[in-house]
Structure 1
């Protein structure tokens, strides 16, 4: 297949070279670059904003950085007509089969920038203009939507995934375009001023508080739980901490009639986490969580489950670029590494579950962009593997509904995934997604509820939901002043 990538030589970014070189590396494509004549480069204020934000946040020049035309010279299109023109600039010239990359329905990078400046994550589509249909779609996003240059680069990385999906035959899509915004010079300048103010506030906050700081909420459930209700009720108690550690990613499990709560235990002084456990009695957690698993990398998301008469844990070890399976040699305090299930990728929140007579593993994988918007699947005959990647990976690109947020559960014949909704930033909210198809050829889901912090769970974050027996748990944000001091007996 011959593909011509249409670019504007006046407005080249490193991302354009990234896309062209990635496509040219595919054995099924012959790729060349063609220059556009009808597009409009963005206002120079945009690049000034990006430069300012890089200085404020100490960011290196990334895929948004400007690129010299000479870098694309090896890819200039030769003679002959392409099978398709991949237009990345929003040119009006549409002679022949043409695909556009659109943001909330608008082509070119201006509508993407306008949406980000308006505080929105746009819907991204690869549209076949000739056939009048969408080939691939999603909502690539960022953990830092308030930093425009970082969000812009993360979304572009997600766009690369969607372009690959379109070239591989596309995938089912279910994402609605937002109301397009206009990129105005005045808004770019106002945003630059807000960026300076936010950076100053952020620095002041970190001088006064330990951040981020999470907290775990728990409650007893004798009736409908959060998944049954499709909303967040009240009545949560908090797992106390000493201010110098925080607890997050709660996973309860009932073994031999005793309830245990596993958590990420993050030490602010060390800057990394371990896995800890606390026993839960009739009145709630008994004492303070105690460490049970440490690693050379940061540990979090202690997914605990029972299978084949053993208790297992799959903690997140993305810093080591692995997914590891641990077996309880003496539950709950001693764990041994059983298998390295996956390696060589930054995998977040690996969540195993059974479906259709097989084991499935869901997780988000970072490939140069966000940690949270690209859902990958693997399957295996047994928990120990070997695990085989789904042929459609990433099966979903959506910052609002990709990243796992707890155990996958069955309710009334439905398979329900708690997922993170990161449109407003990392861990900002939860959603419940019903899996409508899962097999070796495809994956689809539909979001049935969205859960955000509020009167029932005050704060600005909500990103994990689990239950075991009568114990239901969530987590969210908290404040930890650096002046706080508690003499807490039994704390290490």
Structure 2
């Protein structure tokens, strides 16, 4: 359909004869008692393109974080200018309190675009599945010297332009949501993270649905119930993130219920005035939530 072809990515269209201007994506921190109460409680954004001192960054987006020892570690897409054109790399920042962040450098790059660095623990290993749709596959990486050195492990799936792959462990299996074309949500499962991965019998879960198909952050398990996030890609890409409670998840059945209001959305002004499209929430020891998010500024 015509309007699907008009959906645009984070890079704006070029004016003939001029380089494409960078989108104004930056990264912030939200906190609250629950998903419905998450909001900005400190100075945002916490990471902007100008903080990246070692590259010529156009935008920073797709943040994911994890706690290791006394530090929070934040991984994110850094789209940078190169002589061959813009390309996505994975950047890293650190914080002791989750509010004041220091950029440390680029930790993963490839000959193709990288984004959406979905980082997680598996036993004693720290793993990452960044988006590598330009390579038409889903690639698994393992931290060799966390957080700065990552080694390629294997391709989990190949043959499609898989976007924003979101993995989680639930009921003794691994599950993975992925998108194609901003409008088709697919679901895969495996008994081991390394595979083999099998597509769910109800997959694609959604088709021709640009509002709810593309993953928009870490699958969050609250009181035993997985909640998936979806970035809204129509009529404006990245305007808000929706939540869906997964009521039934087996190898034969999938059923979800939408959460009524957006989890996060553009505020109408400032650093996230135009939109937001990624969230990674974490429950802290005191019971409150902290989440890294991204925002698109108003023109």
If the TM-score is normalised by the length of the shorter chain, which range does it land in? Answer: 0.7 to 0.9
The alignment status of 1:386 with 2:196, answered yes or no, reads yes
Kindly report structure 1 stretches of 4+ aligned residues shifted beyond 6 Å.
Answer: none
Query: 2:256 and 2:80 mapped to 1: Cα distance?
Result: 36
Contact 1:408 1:416 in 2 (8 A): yes
Secondary structure of the corresponding residue to residue 15 of structure 2: helix
The alignment status of 1:436 with 2:247, answered yes or no, reads yes
Contact 1:395 1:442 in 2 (8 A): no
**CA 1:301–1:283 in structure 2 vs 1: closer, same or farther (change >3 Å)?**
closer
Which residue number in structure 2 is paired with residue 276 of structure 1? 91
Secondary structure of the corresponding residue to residue 265 of structure 1: strand
Which residue number in structure 2 is paired with residue 203 of structure 1? 15
Contact 1:265 1:273 in 2 (8 A): yes
Larger Rg computed on CA atoms: 1
Which residue number in structure 2 is paired with residue 144 of structure 1? 6
The alignment status of 1:414 with 2:225, answered yes or no, reads yes
Aligned equivalent of 2:280, options 462, 466, 472: 466
Contact 2:177 2:186 in 1 (8 A): yes
> C-alpha deviations, 1:30-61, integer Å up to 9, x for none?
xxxxxxxxxxxxxxxxxxxxxxxxxxxxxxxx
Which residue number in structure 2 is paired with residue 252 of structure 1? 65
> C-alpha deviations, 1:409-458, integer Å up to 9, x for none?
12234321111112222212111111122222232222212132115864
- The two structures have a TM-score, normalised by structure 1, of 0.52
Deviation of 1:314 (Å): 0.3
Gapped regions of structure 1 (runs ≥ 5): 1-62, 65-140, 147-198, 366-370, 481-492
Compare the two structures and name the one with the higher helix fraction.
1
Aligned equivalent of 1:242, options 50, 62, 65: 50
Which residue number in structure 1 is paired with residue 153 of structure 2? 338
Which residue number in structure 1 is paired with residue 115 of structure 2? 300
Query: 1:374 and 1:325 mapped to 2: Cα distance?
Result: 22
Contact 2:42 2:99 in 1 (8 A): no
> C-alpha deviations, 1:69-90, integer Å up to 9, x for none?
xxxxxxxxxxxxxxxxxxxxxx
**CA 1:315–1:458 in structure 2 vs 1: closer, same or farther (change >3 Å)?**
closer
The alignment status of 1:454 with 2:264, answered yes or no, reads no
Instruction: Quote the RMSD (CA, aligned, Å).
Output: 2.7
Contact 1:323 1:342 in 2 (8 A): yes
**CA 1:331–1:360 in structure 2 vs 1: closer, same or farther (change >3 Å)?**
same
Which residue number in structure 2 is paired with residue 475 of structure 1? 294
Aligned equivalent of 1:261, options 70, 74, 85: 74
Query: 2:100 and 2:75 mapped to 1: Cα distance?
Result: 11
The alignment status of 1:224 with 2:38, answered yes or no, reads no
Compare the two structures and name the one with the higher strand fraction.
2
Secondary structure of the corresponding residue to residue 295 of structure 1: coil
Query: 2:5 and 2:95 mapped to 1: Cα distance?
Result: 33
Query: 1:308 and 1:346 mapped to 2: Cα distance?
Result: 29
> C-alpha deviations, 1:201-248, integer Å up to 9, x for none?
x839x95972323111124x4x414x243x655545211322941210
Query: 2:158 and 2:87 mapped to 1: Cα distance?
Result: 20
